[in-house]
Amino acid sequence: MPVYTVTVSTGSQWFAGTDDYIYITLIGTERCSERTLLDKPLYNDFERGAVDAYDVRVGEDLGDIVLVKIEKNKYWVQDDWYCRYITVKTPSGEYIEFPCFCWLVGDKEVVLRDGRAHLPQDDKISLLKQHRLKELDMRRKTYRWKEWQPGFPLSIDANRHSELPLDIQFDSEKGVDFILNYSKAIENLFVNSFMHMFQSSWSDIGDFEKIFVRIKNTISEYVMQHWKEDFMFGYQFLNGCNPVLIQKCTKLPNKFPVTHKMVSVSLEREMTLEEEIQAGNVYIVDYELLDGISANTTDPCTLQYLAAPICLLYKNAKNKILPIAIQLGQTPGEDTPIFLPTDGEYDWLLAKVWVRSADFQYHQTVTHLLRTHLITEVFAIAMYRQLPAVHPVYKLLIPHIRFTIAINTKAREQLICKCGIFDKANATGGGGHVQLIQKAMKSLTFRSLCFPDMIKSRGVDKKDELPTYFYRDDGYRVWEATKSFVSDVVHIYYTSDEMMQEDEEIQAFIKDVCSFGMQDFDHCEFPKSLKSREELAEYLTVVVFTASAQHAAVNFGQLYLGMYLDEHFIEKRVKAAMEKFRKELAEITNDIKKRNEGKRLPYYNMSPDKIPNSVAV
């Protein structure tokens, strides 16, 4: 009588184990096994983190094992179970791994394919084709599109985190981690002691320093000592939390009438302002997007204000970026003067503070929320709807969208909703943040998500012109390493462009992103189909890079780039590509560490060892 040895791995996260009944059915090309209860006498099966082995006896050989069906039935009370994988050892000694990586909730069954990635055209057996279609049909019913606000990218159809499928909710450890991090932030900021500072006007600029009394690290202390200085103000446009707006000034806009006479004292090369511009030494940051956005009026006792400034920056002889002119509105005139470094100390300082305030609003709402969180959610939902777990692109992307839908749902539930944190704390709260995203969507294109294109479009791509633009330099290297890895994976499974064109699932994924996620806006220019493997590699690089490196540049997470805890790929060629990717990332990390040695302002935001895999915070 043939015997198949089945190994079951239970997840190690909290509450992953179960006391419910677990049944297994092995489905082969010749026949199926009997539905078999997995149970050992006097043994506590399926404990958290356990790997348990069981024998399944059959009357005849089943042929090639193509599917494994797992069923969970209630024992006493419903007890959810997280299954990592099932391994089957056949009578001939062959080992077949069936990844699961999902929760079984209630009386549920799940049917698993073996761990090898397969394109839809690879499946010749009717049983496998039906399994693929059934999985996608179920997913499309579970992961539904919804418009949260007009003009936004579409999001998941769930009003609360608790309404999400359990597989994409935060697990218990992640939830506790959020609480601990929040408590730590409260402790660091002394919020209980200083909350009154945020609810009324400050009487002294020195009050600002009190907020950071408990934050002790070299960078924060250096910034606190130098934040008023022009070099620090300029440096932040290159390597601060919003290094995506600075662009080369090739011509002064009419709305910003800066003259040579105004700024001549700030120029160091015995050239006119126009000559400095032509020489490529002048840069500009324009917050035009904030013009006309409503300021927060939710608390009538605390008036809040917004500006839409324009800032002119100058690269001096030491290659430092310094502000030389600031206008706090988009329409020049008596009410919108141009502030200069030669003005009174506090006039100039307050002009810079207004620019930083505008930068904060833009960063939080556009750079961070829209262009990483909401865009990654679009990719994630389309992936779940159009790519089965056996598809190689699903396996590639799943680590990079981990918890993204969950954190975004939490944000819509608590942060950016009516009466949420934005309404209480941000100048764009009370609806301004919604207007800002609606406005920003009109300039969000697919090409603007491609890192090299984004850098080049702003005229800041040449290292010799901006030698201290570390965000750009590190970003280039991480982008190229990521693209190389993604391209390796793409070429393993698609041996020709025609194969990629004939993959109905990948084409459906691309179309779903554009036609539904981005609502088919004409201006977004997202592709609706792809014709070559190179196009697919670039597209997937955008997904991975946006969810990991780009998000890391403006926010930090926990599970770092290249570290894949769940082994969705089992093929040796892909594992080799992963190892090559990790080595390239390690080399980049080491080079960044060497460059940062001795620097008072080291830049680590794009260091691979600090880049989270996904948008999860």
146-175+368-610, what's its fold? Lipoxygenase-1; domain 5 (1.20.245)
Asked whether the predicted pLDDT for residue 559 surpasses 60, the reply is no
Q: Is 17 annotated as a binding residue?
A: yes
Query: 186-190, 424-428, 503-507, 564-568: which range is least confident on average?
Result: 186-190
Task: Quote the CA–CA distance of 110 and 134 in Å, as a whole number.
Answer: 11
Task: Quote the CA–CA distance of 215 and 580 in Å, as a whole number.
Answer: 38
pTM of the model: 0.92
Residues 329, 307: contact at Cβ < 8 Å?
yes
Task: Quote the CA–CA distance of 308 and 357 in Å, as a whole number.
Answer: 10
Q: Is 373 annotated as a binding residue?
A: yes
Question: What pLDDT does 479 receive?
Answer: 97
Q: Supply 177's token pair.
A: 């981690």
Residue 351: count other Cβ atoms within 10 Å of its Cβ: 24
Q: Give the 3-state secondary structure of residue 245.
A: coil
Residues 237, 245: contact at Cβ < 8 Å?
yes
Q: Supply 571's token pair.
A: 């093929």
Give the domain ranges of the chain.
3-113, 146-175+368-610, 241-360
Pick the CATH number of 3-113 from 2.40.30.10, 1.20.1290.10, 3.40.50.620, 2.60.60.20: 2.60.60.20
Asked whether the predicted pLDDT for residue 211 surpasses 80, the reply is no
Q: Is 79 annotated as a binding residue?
A: yes
24: β partners: 36, 70
Quickly state the pLDDT bin for 186 (edges 50, 70, 90). Answer: very low
Q: Is 80 annotated as a binding residue?
A: yes
Asked whether the predicted pLDDT for residue 561 surpasses 70, the reply is no
Quickly state the pLDDT bin for 564 (edges 50, 70, 90). Answer: low
The amino acid at residue 596 is N
The correct answer on CATH 3.10.450.60 for the domain covering 241-360 is yes
Across the chain, mean pLDDT equals: 89
Q: Supply 489's token pair.
A: 């994976």
Q: Is 551 annotated as a binding residue?
A: yes
User: Among residues of the chain, what percentage have pLDDT more than 70?
Assistant: 90
